[in-house]
Amino acid sequence: MDQCTSMVLERKEIESVLEKSEISTTEEAVAFADALTKIIWNHNQLGLIYDYYDENVVYKGAYGKKITGPDSVVLEFLAMQAAFPNLRVHITESFGRALDDGGYAVYQRSYAEGTNSGTSQYGPPTGNKLNESNSMGQTVYQFHKVNTRWKVTEEVSLRSEEVIEKLLKNEA
Amino acid sequence: MLPKRNNEEFQRLLNIVKRADLQTPADVEEFFVAYTKCIWDYKLVGLIYDHYTDETVIHGENGVNIAGIDAVVHHTLERLYTLPDMRINFSGIHASKVSDDEFKFIQMTYPEGTFTGPCQYGPANGKKLSQDNIMNMCECTVKKIDGVWKITEEWGLLGYKKFLSQGSTN
């Protein structure tokens, strides 16, 4: 099967999970988080951040980073995807819990594979690679139902930032 | 910051792209306006896989080609990173039917956006693209392959290099 067909089929399967309108168990929350991570990161559907991230979403990252709103999240994610255009995130562990306010928290541990073949804030592409041994990531999503749609209201995420910075600066 | 998303337009364009039933030149023109804007204005970069092939070649200026699907995705992400508030405006689009399974079209567009992200030509300088300083022309061959309409070859004169290499703001 050619790569385009494979990507489209994979994406449509993910879309079918996202389009379900209700999350009522932690298992469904975990599946939703899995689908959201994959469609944004493995399928570069950055525009869907406006559908699945709340307008007041808070994103917290390494070194005290705190950004709010979908625009900021789009720019944050775009920087990483432009630097690693063939990025694939692999989720290796995930679990969720129901929150007292009716929402869900979902944890994911993951690793990324990809090559720095695009320009980054640190300069020209280095050709350095992310792999299972150097790119562990940990993310906690909080989802709440906003009007009729489940959305990310908070995301806390770390992904071996020191390693990534060294790769992009070619200091690895 | 980024332009406020027009949800009504987004849904309308996405519905056109999802239908993807090209029978007349008018269908092709409507489809590729929607497809272009979904990818660039609304950052649905993953849609590239739907209507390009693994082997599509984009012939660029000065003999520089973008060959293969990975390179097409890479190019798109890099351009969006450089000009994240990009909007593509259509000056015109004209399609011609070659056969029931093939069309050709030419689109004339101008992007609007602000050079705020780094790029291969140098650092960001805050300059703005408009119809006063850039025009893009893009020709595509579109073929129905295994029931799916695909851009098999593309020729584009875009003019970004000069704009992105120009140095500090005026």
Buried b (16+ CB within 10 A) or exposed e, B53-92: bbebbbebeeeeebebbebbbbbbbbbbbbbbbbbbeeee
Give pLDDT tens digits for A58-82: 999 988 899 999 999 999 999 999 9
Instruction: Give me A76's structure tokens.
Output: 């944050």
Report yes or no: B3 at the A interface, CB cutoff 8 Å: no
Cβ under 8 Å to B: A residues 95-124: 117-121, 123-124
Domain region containing A67? 3-169
CA B100 to chain centre: 24
Model confidence band, residue B162 (pLDDT cutoffs 50, 70, 90): confident
Best CA proximity match to B84, nearest among B116, B109, B110, B111: B116
Give chain A positions within 8 Å (CB) of B119.
119
The CA distance from A63 to B58, in Å, is: 40
Q: State the pLDDT at residue A172.
A: 64
Mean pLDDT (chain A) is 94
What residue of B is the nearest CA neighbor of A118? Answer: B78
Model confidence band, residue A21 (pLDDT cutoffs 50, 70, 90): low
β B52-59/B148-157 pair status: parallel
Q: What percent of chain A has pLDDT over 70?
A: 99
Give pLDDT tens digits for B88-143: 999 999 999 999 999 999 899 999 999 999 888 888 889 999 888 888 889 999 99
Mean pLDDT (chain B) is 92
- Domains identified in chain A, total number: 1
Asked whether the ipTM of the predicted complex exceeds the cut of 0.85, the reply is no
What residue of A is the nearest CA neighbor of B147? Answer: A5
Give chain B positions within 8 Å (CB) of A39.
46
CATH topology classification for B8-164: Nuclear Transport Factor 2; Chain: A, (3.10.450)
Q: What percent of chain B has pLDDT over 70?
A: 96
Confidence check: pLDDT of B10 > 90: yes
Confidence check: pLDDT of A131 > 60: yes
* CATH number, domain with residue A149: 3.10.450.50
Model confidence band, residue B170 (pLDDT cutoffs 50, 70, 90): very low
Give pLDDT tens digits for B51-91: 999 999 999 876 789 999 999 999 999 999 999 999 999 99
